[in-house]
């Protein structure tokens, strides 16, 4: 503090005039006035306006008790007893003499002078709030006395100025006291916050509330009720201001903690989550016990943090969010906040959730969910169409691989949204799944169009080398992957999309069927001339034609076996069926006729050997069409049999295994056998009877029906 200068007007720290007794120098620096008033020994549970009579002074050398202030050479005054006045103030009472006893030397007790404004302000800055509050009360009492005197007209102009100055000093000191108290409340949230500071704040609040009650009870102030006049300083409503201070301190702490976080979505919420858990656990364990139970301090802090979380989340769900950030915000609102913050093991039992309400209004949540569905639709449609366009650029003659990751890329885009929404709410998960299924269904229609155009270009060049085989295999391979995911997605949604899904699955079946047809046509275009070399005279002399046929099939399947299991199985079974059918066709359409029993035996043996080779070939390729294995063998046995009854029996077995056999087929094989003459009629009569009682075979077991009749 600067010392007083001659001729310079003295002012206090608020810029007001100071009386000589209020000089900062004399109040603080004077060696004659010791720091520490009798108010420093106030008991927190006692009357804030009544100084303690215990321990206020010490005996001097003459047996008189003096205050610490009086020890510095100040003028001693006799202790006067006071009685309470209105507003909790006390006024001096006339001294009363005790009953007559043995004469003793009169005892004088000194009363310390009231502290100056500057000294009180120093106490506030030292955070001796209870002590400072008591001294402010003394100054306020003096101010009220002057006001009453001024209103009664008993004072002059100087006293009127003193009256206004003291009232202003009291107001400013109370403002400083409250500001320091609320600063202590704010700082308590920091790691260095102390429980003792809060206990001082609570005691000041209680003292002021007691004073307000006394003012009301003594008629000095009307009962403010639940809505006090905000234009008056009384009552001071410190508890309400404390609540406001708690709210402001929480808001400032959250704002400061999130200020360095640039991300407006998940990162900010993660920082807020960590901050809330850490602060609330510390508040519950360390700071909340500083407040009386009726303050419900922990509940107030939880409510304030909840409001900040709500504000942070409202700010986070801005229009600039991408779909991933929006899902994160929705998940935080629906699940994470409740589970990780309010449901934290150290907080759950102490949080009254029903008093907090939802983080976001229900209509806001519904709006965000609608927005998320729309964003998912736009995002998925754009990304999967881009994936298809990029894939089509690789459908060239240079393609050598039989694998494409298109299906996996498309499904990953869909799965990303489906799985993220599934962790939020069942309702949102259902809507996102339905949206993704609809997008996938439309994509598959577009995918089929692109594949059909490709197949058409390939079909126009069917006779050229099979450059398109690897790409066709990769296209067919994508169908099981798409089908499996489409069916699983369809199980999650309502039946509204059944028809749309059925069409999409039909597209995949068409892609597989058309792909098989393209590959089969390519294979049999190469096999056709080889079948033409079978069942001829040279065929009996050399098996070169048959071995070439087996070799071509093997070579084609070096690529075809890279097809995924479901479509591959259908392909290899169909190749097996068509090879057997073409072989039978070659036999039934041949001009070869057995002229002797030896020739019949040789032809039948050769047919049996090649039938066995075909069975072994397709077993090795994985064919499950074993029902085809006996067809060639039955015809070989008809040629081999020597008597009509045996032939009739074999024809009956042929009809039993292949109900689509007709008279023309049997007539053709009998022609190759030769030598029956008139007995052939008996065999054909058997065929006629069998035809009459035969049921048509299942479509997937038709064989002879696709073989034209030679005769």
Run means of pLDDT, 10 residues per run, the chain, 711 residues: 39 42 39 36 38 39 38 35 39 43 48 76 91 89 80 59 79 92 90 80 91 78 54 71 94 86 73 92 89 92 93 85 90 92 91 88 92 95 95 81 89 94 92 94 95 90 74 93 93 82 93 94 93 91 92 93 92 96 94 92 95 96 95 95 93 92 92 87 89 78 79 45
What does the pLDDT read at residue 112? 53
DSSP H helices in 283-405: 297-316, 323-331, 362-392
Residue 234 gets the label, from left (phi > 0), alpha (psi -120 to 50) or beta, of beta
Coil vs helix vs strand at 649: helix
- Centre a 10 Å sphere on the Cβ of residue 360 and count the other Cβ atoms it contains: 19
The answer for residues whose C-beta is within 8 angstroms of residue 573's C-beta and 6 or more apart is: 623, 624, 625
* Assigned token pair, 630: 């006996």
What does the pLDDT read at residue 258? 85
Q: How many CA atoms lie within 13 A of 565 on its CB side?
A: 1
How does strand 58-59 pair with strand 82-84?
Answer: unpaired
CATH architecture designation of domain 364-516: Orthogonal Bundle (1.10)
What does the pLDDT read at residue 609? 96
What does the pLDDT read at residue 464? 65
In this structure, are residues 444 and 507 in contact, taking their beta carbons and an 8 Å threshold?
yes
Q: Write down the pTM of the prediction.
A: 0.70
Q: CA nearest 557: which of 473, 645, 475?
A: 473
53-62 burial: b if 16+ Cβ within 10 Å, else e: eeebbeeeee
Whose tokens are 């402001």? That residue is 248
Name the DSSP letter for residue 30.
-
Fold (CATH) for 534-701: Tetracycline Repressor; domain 2 (1.10.357)
């Amino acid at each position: 503090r600067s010392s007083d200068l001659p001729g310079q007007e003295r002012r206090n720290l608020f810029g007001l005039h100071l009386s000589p007794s209020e000089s900062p120098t004399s109040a603080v620096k004077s060696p004659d006035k010791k720091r520490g008033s009798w108010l420093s020994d106030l008991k927190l549970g006692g009357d804030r306006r009544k100084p303690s009579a215990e321990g206020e002074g010490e005996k001097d050398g003459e047996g008189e008790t003096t205050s610490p202030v009086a020890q510095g050479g100040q003028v001693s005054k006799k202790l006067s007893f006071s009685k309470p006045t209105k507003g909790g103030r006390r006024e001096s009472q006339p001294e009363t003499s005790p009953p007559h006893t043995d004469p003793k030397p009169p005892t004088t007790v000194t009363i310390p002078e009231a502290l100056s404004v500057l000294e009180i302000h120093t106490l506030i800055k030292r955070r001796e709030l209870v002590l400072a509050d008591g001294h402010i009360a003394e100054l306020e009492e003096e101010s009220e006395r002057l006001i009453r005197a001024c209103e009664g007209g008993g004072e002059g102009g100087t006293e009127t100025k003193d009256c206004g100055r003291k009232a202003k000093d009291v107001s400013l000191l109370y403002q400083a006291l409250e500001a320091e108290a609320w600063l202590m409340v704010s700082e308590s949230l920091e790691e260095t916050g102390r429980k003792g500071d809060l206990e001082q704040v609570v005691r000041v609040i209680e003292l002021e509330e007691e004073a307000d009650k006394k003012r009301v009870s003594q008629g000095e102030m009307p009962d403010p009720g639940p809505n006090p006049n905000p234009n008056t300083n009384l009552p001071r409503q410190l508890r309400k201001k404390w609540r406001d201070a708690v709210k402001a301190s929480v808001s400032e702490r959250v704002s400061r903690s999130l200020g360095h976080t640039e991300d407006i979505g998940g990162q900010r919420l993660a920082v807020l989550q960590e901050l809330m858990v850490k602060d609330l656990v510390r508040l519950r364990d360390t700071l909340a016990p500083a407040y009386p139970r009726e303050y419900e301090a922990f509940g107030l802090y939880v409510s304030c943090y909840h409001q900040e979380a709500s504000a942070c989340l409202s700010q986070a769900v801005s229009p600039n969010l991408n779909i991933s950030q929006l899902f994160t915000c929705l998940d935080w609102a629906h699940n994470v906040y409740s589970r990780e913050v309010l449901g934290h093991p150290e907080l759950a039992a102490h949080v009254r959730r029903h008093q907090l309400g939802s983080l976001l209004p229900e209509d806001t949540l519904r709006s965000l969910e609608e927005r998320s569905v729309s964003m998912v639709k736009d995002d998925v449609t754009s990304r999967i169409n881009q994936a298809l366009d990029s894939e089509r650029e690789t459908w060239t003659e240079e393609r050598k691989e039989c694998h494409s990751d298109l299906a996996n890329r498309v499904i990953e885009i869909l799965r990303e949204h489906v799985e993220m929404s599934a962790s939020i709410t069942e309702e949102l998960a259902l809507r996102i799944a339905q949206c993704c299924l609809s997008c996938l269904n439309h994509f598959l229609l577009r995918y089929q169009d692109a594949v059909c155009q490709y197949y058409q270009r390939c079909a126009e060049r069917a006779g050229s080398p099979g450059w398109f085989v690897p790409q066709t295999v990769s296209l067919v391979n994508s169908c099981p992957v798409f089908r499996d995911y489409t069916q699983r997605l369809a199980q999650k949604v309502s039946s509204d999309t059944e028809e749309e899904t059925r069409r999409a699955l039909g597209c995949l079946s068409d892609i597989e069927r058309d792909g098989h047809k393209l590959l089969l046509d390519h294979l049999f275009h190469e096999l056709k001339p080889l079948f033409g070399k079978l069942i001829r005279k040279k065929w009996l002399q050399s098996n070169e034609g048959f071995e070439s046929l087996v070799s071509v099939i093997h070579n084609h399947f070096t690529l075809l076996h890279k097809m995924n299991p479901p479509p591959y199985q259908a392909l290899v079974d169909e190749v097996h069926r068509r090879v057997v059918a073409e072989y039978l066709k070659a036999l039934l359409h041949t001009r070869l006729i057995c002229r002797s029993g030896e020739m019949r035996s040789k032809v039948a043996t050769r047919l049996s050997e090649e039938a066995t080779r075909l069975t072994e070939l397709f077993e090795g390729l994985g064919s499950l069409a074993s029902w085809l294995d006996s067809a060639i063998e039955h015809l070989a046995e008809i040629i081999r049999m020597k008597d009509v009854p045996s032939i009739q029996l074999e024809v009956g077995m042929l009809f039993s295994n292949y109900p689509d056999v007709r008279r023309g087929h049997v007539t053709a094989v009998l022609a190759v056998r030769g030598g029956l003459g008139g007995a052939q009629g008996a065999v054909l009569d058997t065929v006629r009877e069998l035809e009459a009682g035969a049921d048509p075979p299942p479509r997937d077991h038709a064989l002879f029906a696709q073989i034209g009749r030679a005769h």
